[in-house]
Amino acid sequence: MENAKLLLVDDEKGFLDTITKRLEKRKLKIWAVYSGEDALVELEKNTAIEVVVLDVKMPGMDGIETLVEIKKRFPLMEVIMLTGHATVETAIDGMKLGAFDYLMKPCDIDELISKVKEAIEKKRQHDEKIMEARIKEISDRMV
């Protein structure tokens, strides 16, 4: 789990700063942005990111719109939704649209880390299968 690479997306600066510090103390590499639009820009330029932790309720492009766009552009990216009590239905909708899971805010740091770990394992398995398929394709062409 060390060296896991996460993108945190939340418009609440205080929350984002706190969670970033707590995750960095656990040796995770964190990128933090304050909007869905900024998340998409960061994902375009940073292919190392493995999992996105995305707030549902944000001004401008909300979490669901951001999730849809992430899944369109980066289909294998795992996304964990963060939601307040009023938006649980929205988080469940997010799961139907491809989110890995959702957590209630404020979330327990150990629970968040557990979900991130599961999401990273799933992402790395997908990446490994793709790499194996590419290697097989190349070796089949060489025969």
Start-end of H helices in 34-104: 36-45, 63-73, 88-96
Task: Tell me, yes or no, if the pTM score tops 0.75.
Answer: yes
d(CA 61, CA 29): 25
pLDDT digits (tens, 9 = 90+) for 57-97: 999 999 999 999 999 999 999 999 998 766 677 878 888 99
d(CA 95, CA 73): 17
Residues contacting residue 87 through CB under 8 Å, at least 6 positions apart: 56, 57
